[in-house]
Amino acid sequence: MRKLVLAALPALMLGACGGESAPPANETAAAAVPVAFPIGEWEVSSTVERIASTDGSTPASPAKQGDKATRKACVADADQLSKLFAEQGADCKVTTTYARQGRINTAYQCKRSGGLTTPTVNGRYTADTLDVTVDTASMLSGSGDYQMTEKVTGKRLGDC
C-alpha cells in the first residue's frame, strides 16, 4: 500500500500544477494603462472645487464654487488635450506636456478676452478613463484675476 501511495504522489503533484495560471497583478494593471494618452472622443465632467480672487476684486470668471459641467471633445493627438481641460473657446498653446504610462501633467497658456489663463493639469488615465485636477490662474489686463481648482473625471467614448 505504501508503494502505491508513493507512486501516485508525483501524479497528484503534476495534476495540481495543471491549468492556466493568472497573470501577476502588475501585468494586468500594465495592460489597462496605455503608454500614450488614448486618442478619441472623450466626455469629461468637471466640478469647481475652489475659485478665489488673487487681486482683491471679484473673479472675472462665470464659474462659481460647486459649478458642474460636462462636455465632449475629440482628441486626435496629445497636443489637443487642452480641449478637455481649458475654458471652452480659449486659444491655447502647450507649454508643458507629459501624458505617458497612465500619468498626465500638462500646462497651457490660453488667450481669452482680457488676458491669459494658465491651466495646469495633473492626474492619471487608463485606456478609457481619466481623473485629474486642473489648477487655473488668470493674468488679465484689468481687475478680476483669479485662481481656480477643478476636479475633472472623464471616459473615452470611442473613436472620433
User: Please, are residues 33 and 126 in contact by the beta-carbon 8 Å criterion?
Assistant: yes
Of 142, 146, 151, 123, give the one whose Cα is nearest residue 37.
123
Average pLDDT over residues 124-147: 97
133, 25 Cβ separation under 8 angstroms:
no
**Does residue 24 or residue 102 have the better pLDDT?**
102
Mean pLDDT of the chain: 85
Sorted by where each starts, the structural domains of the chain and their CATH numbers stand as 35-158 (2.40.128)
Confidence grade of residue 24 (pLDDT, cut at 50, 70, 90): low
Q: How far apart are CA 139 and CA 11, in angstroms?
A: 75
Dist CA 139 CA 144 (whole Å): 9
